């Protein structure tokens, strides 16, 4: 009798631990079932072959584990909600600000100065920026001199090498260093944060006004 009821208890618990979306009410119900079965087991056990103490301890440990897992799940859900709320507040604070994200494009409008940037993996003695138009023709070469490792914001006054104003439109740029040892560079484009939204994974994302697909906070290299 003891063996049969114990197996039933263990089977019920093992089945419950495999359910990822257990609720507190389910845990309470399982505990009630366990106590009922345990009481019945103790009342009907064979005096000459009582239930093994180690088996009882195992069953108690399993019911405790189930409750602990549900408590942890509830706690994690609460933490996740707090993190999501915090990220939303951080993202909202960026609305109206310019940011630098991965990309090598520069938008020129009305000949106004434009911002872009670069991230250097290490210090560089001489940094050169080459700007090209949509046909691939070089329109401006900027000598930025020596730069320290990290992310730097740069600007282009919109003038071409011949002193004339560049036409409105999209341009691309590349960054090169003259160091003996190659320095890894990452081109960064400018974008204005116009709003906060969510991506396909329901994560907080920044709306960059069509300049780029929605990006997360971790994709921002520099806030201007």
Q: Classify burial at 195, counting beta carbons within 10 Å of its beta carbon; exposed 0-12, middle 13-18, buried 19 or more.
A: middle
Domain with CATH 2.60.40.4070 in the chain: 98-223
To the question of pTM greater than 0.95 for the whole model, the response is: no
Query: What confidence score (pLDDT) does residue 211 get?
Result: 61
Cα 206–211–212 angle (5° rounding)? Answer: 55
pLDDT over 70 percentage in the chain: 58
CATH code given to domain 98-223:
2.60.40.4070
Given a cut of 50, whether residue 84 has pLDDT beyond it is: yes
CA 71 to chain centre: 25
In 3D, which of 41, 36, 34 has the Cα closest to residue 63? 34
Query: What confidence score (pLDDT) does residue 17 get?
Result: 47
Average pLDDT, the chain: 77
């Amino acid at each position: 009798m003891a063996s049969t009821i114990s197996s039933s208890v263990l089977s019920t618990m093992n089945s419950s631990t495999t359910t990822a979306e257990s609720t507190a009410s389910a845990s309470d119900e399982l505990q009630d079932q366990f106590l009922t079965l345990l009481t019945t087991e103790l009342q009907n056990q064979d005096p000459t072959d009582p239930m093994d103490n180690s088996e009882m301890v195992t069953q108690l440990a399993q019911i405790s584990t189930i409750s602990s897992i549900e408590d942890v799940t509830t706690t994690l859900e609460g933490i996740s909600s707090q993190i999501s709320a915090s990220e939303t507040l951080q993202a909202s604070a960026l609305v109206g600000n310019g940011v630098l994200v991965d990309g090598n494009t520069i938008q020129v409008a009305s000949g106004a100065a434009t911002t872009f940037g670069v991230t250097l993996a290490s210090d560089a003695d001489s940094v050169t920026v080459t700007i090209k138009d949509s046909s691939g023709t070089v329109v401006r070469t900027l000598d930025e001199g020596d730069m320290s490792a990290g992310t730097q914001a740069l600007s282009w006054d919109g003038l071409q090498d011949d002193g004339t104003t560049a036409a409105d439109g999209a341009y691309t740029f590349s960054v090169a260093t003259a160091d003996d040892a190659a320095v890894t560079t990452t081109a960064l484009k400018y974008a204005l944060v116009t709003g906060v939204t969510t991506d396909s994974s329901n994560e907080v994302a920044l709306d960059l006004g069509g300049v780029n697909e929605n990006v997360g906070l971790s994709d921002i290299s520099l806030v201007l």
